[in-house]
């Protein structure tokens, strides 16, 4: 049905009729006033891909990411999206990270890459607190992976803290384009409860969306359901959605485009 609708929309032709490149440009032409379309419609690659794939994109999330990656290849170089590099600290489950990468790629339309692990020994921890000082991690991330203009996101099992903060789930620096999230307090085990991999994944996703929001320049949001709401406890993280509220979404779009 979506394909039938698309075919009808693009040329009032019957479903299953092929939409060739030239025909498509002519068919959408009447929708634009005083716009001169080039005879060779190379710039319509993106529109053409959407039309052809509408019938094949199902409700399954993988289908959508497949469609997104096909669209991505059609973008001209000046519109290439930002690259997000996820850096695991001391090895994090690769399946967990690739699932995380797919979810973040779909939300932010970043080109996501999972990098080799950053090796950090326990001697880097504060010996009294048994925690990792957040600037120690961000400095290492920038020194070993920075410099290409992309965004870095470190994922660690170490418990993180900052000056004047007992602990942080994560943090981000908009200007240095670096963010970090700790899994330590996102695990049920930390609270003496049975492990729950799915809960861990959902919490991690929410905190990563939150930190990437900061990296885009977003501030904390008063909406307790928004990913940009400040979490001081795991209950607040659980209460949040893994995406932005309407207001933050608009701001993030304005930031990405500007
Ligand atoms: Zn925050
Ligand atoms: Zn919000």
Q: Over range 82-104, report the average pLDDT.
A: 95
For residue 184, report the distance from its CA to the centre of ligand 2, in Å. 25
- Of 247, 230, 248, which Cα lies nearest the Cα of 239? 230
For residue 45, report the distance from its CA to the centre of ligand 1, in Å. 39
43 & 98 share domain: no
* Residue 78, in any domain of the structure: no
pTM of the model: 0.70
45 & 139 share domain: no
Distance of CA 152 to the CA centre of its chain: 12
What pLDDT score was predicted for residue 246? 96
Residue 63's pLDDT band, with cuts at 50, 70 and 90, is: very low
Among the bound ligands, name the one nearest to the CA of residue 244. Answer: 2
- Confirm if 130 and 159 have CB atoms less than 8 A apart: yes
For residue 64, report the distance from its CA to the centre of ligand 2, in Å. 25
- pLDDT one-digit tens code per residue, 123-166: 999 999 999 999 999 999 999 998 777 899 999 999 999 998 99
58 & 91 share domain: no
Of 18, 40, 72, which residue sits at a domain end?
72
Among the bound ligands, name the one nearest to the CA of residue 231. Answer: 1
For residue 172, report the distance from its CA to the centre of ligand 1, in Å. 8
Q: How many domains does the chain fold into?
A: 2
For residue 220, report the distance from its CA to the centre of ligand 1, in Å. 6
Among the bound ligands, name the one nearest to the CA of residue 220. Answer: 1
Of 18, 51, 72, which residue sits at a domain end?
72
* Boundaries of domain holding 51: 3-72
Catalytic residues: 211
* Residue 146, in any domain of the structure: yes
What pLDDT score was predicted for residue 147? 73
What pLDDT score was predicted for residue 91? 87
- The region of weakest confidence among 64-73, 114-123, 197-206 is 64-73
* Residue 13, in any domain of the structure: yes
119 & 19 share domain: no
Of 72, 101, 132, which residue sits at a domain end?
72
- Confirm if 209 and 218 have CB atoms less than 8 A apart: no
């Amino acid at each position: 049905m979506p394909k039938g609708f698309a075919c009808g929309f693009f040329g009032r032709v019957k479903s299953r009729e092929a939409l060739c490149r030239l025909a498509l440009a002519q068919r959408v032409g009447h929708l634009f006033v005083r716009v001169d379309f080039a005879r060779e419609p190379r710039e319509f690659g993106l529109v053409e891909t959407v039309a052809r794939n509408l019938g094949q994109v199902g409700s399954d999330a993988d289908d959508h990411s497949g469609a997104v990656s096909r669209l991505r290849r059609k973008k001209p170089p000046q519109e290439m999206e930002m690259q997000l590099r996820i850096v695991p600290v001391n090895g994090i489950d690769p399946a967990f990270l690739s699932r995380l990468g797919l979810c973040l790629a779909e939300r932010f339309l970043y080109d996501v890459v999972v990098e080799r692990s950053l090796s950090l020994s326990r001697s880097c921890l504060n010996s009294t607190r048994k925690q990792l000082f957040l600037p120690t991690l961000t400095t290492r991330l920038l020194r070993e992976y920075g410099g290409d203009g992309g965004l870095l996101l470190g994922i660690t099992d170490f418990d993180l803290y900052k000056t004047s903060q007992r602990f942080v789930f994560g943090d981000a620096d908009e200007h240095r384009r670096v963010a970090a999230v700790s899994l330590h307090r996102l695990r049920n085990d930390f609270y003496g409860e049975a492990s729950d991999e799915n809960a861990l994944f959902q919490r991690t996703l929410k905190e990563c969306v939150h930190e990437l929001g900061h990296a885009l320049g977003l501030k904390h949001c008063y909406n307790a359901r928004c990913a940009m709401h400040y979490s001081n406890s795991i209950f607040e993280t659980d209460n949040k959605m893994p995406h932005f509220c309407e207001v933050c979404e608009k701001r993030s779009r304005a930031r990405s485009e500007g």
